[in-house]
Structure formats: C-alpha cells, structure tokens
Copies of this chain bind each other. A is one copy, B any other.
Amino acid sequence: MTKITTCEVDTALDLITGKWKHSILLLLINGESLRFSELKRALPKISQKILTAQLRDLEEQEVIVRTVYPEVPPRVDYQLSEYGKTLIPVLEAMNEWGIRHAEKMRTR
C-alpha cells in the first residue's frame, strides 16, 4: 500500500473544496455538458461572480473544458474533461462514506 501523504491529499482537496466546487463537478458528472446559465439555475444561491471564479479554477486545473460559441447572445458551455473524469472515483468514495455517516448519525 502506498503511504497516504498530506501533500497529495491536499492536491485533491483543493479541487473539491470551497462551498461550490464539488457541486459543480457533480452537476457536470451527471449532466454531461452545461451552459453557464444552466449551472446558475441549478445552483440558485451562487452568485455569478463566484460561479465564474470556481469555473475558472477548475478550468485552470484542466478538470473541466470551457467552450465558447461565437454567438450573440453569448453561449458558453462547460463539461468535465477526460482528465476530470478521473475524479469520479474520489467523489464516489466520499459519497459512499457520506451515506454511511448520515445513517450512523441518524440512528444514534
């Protein structure tokens, strides 16, 4: 077994943490490709500024792909990159743990 190191875990955490990033990722996992406005609608409480910032972060890490269509009004869509898909097992592990944890907290 490879030893788990703080540093490598940090790297993965950076991509998932923040109030919104993992929600964005999950939408893109489940919904294929989504426009800016669709993400905004799916996360009604996020502000445009924050949504933009988070998307830019994810794009910079090459986890999502941003496609601009030269139309008016503008159209931009976001999808998980092939690379981003490698995050799915990580989110799955967290999801499974979360389900068990919720159950545990419910029955105590």
The closest CB in chain B to the CB of A27 belongs to: B6
Assess whether A41 is interfacial by the CB under 8 Å rule: no
Taking CB atoms, residues of chain B closer than 8 Å to A96 are: 2, 8
Q: Is there an interface contact between A9 and B98, defined as CB atoms closer than 8 Å?
A: yes
User: Is the pair B98, A12 in contact by a Cβ cutoff of 8 Å?
Assistant: yes
Is A93 part of the contact surface with B, judged by Cβ < 8 Å? yes
Instruction: Find chain B residues with CB under 8 A from A11 CB.
Output: 97-98, 101-102
Which residues of chain B come closer than 8 Å to A92, judged between CB atoms? 1, 4, 93
Expressed in whole angstroms, the minimum distance between the Cβ of A64 and any Cβ of chain B is 14
Question: Given that A13-B16, A94-B13, A95-B12 are contacting pairs, would A23 and B4 also be in contact in the complex, using a CB cutoff of 8 Å?
Answer: no
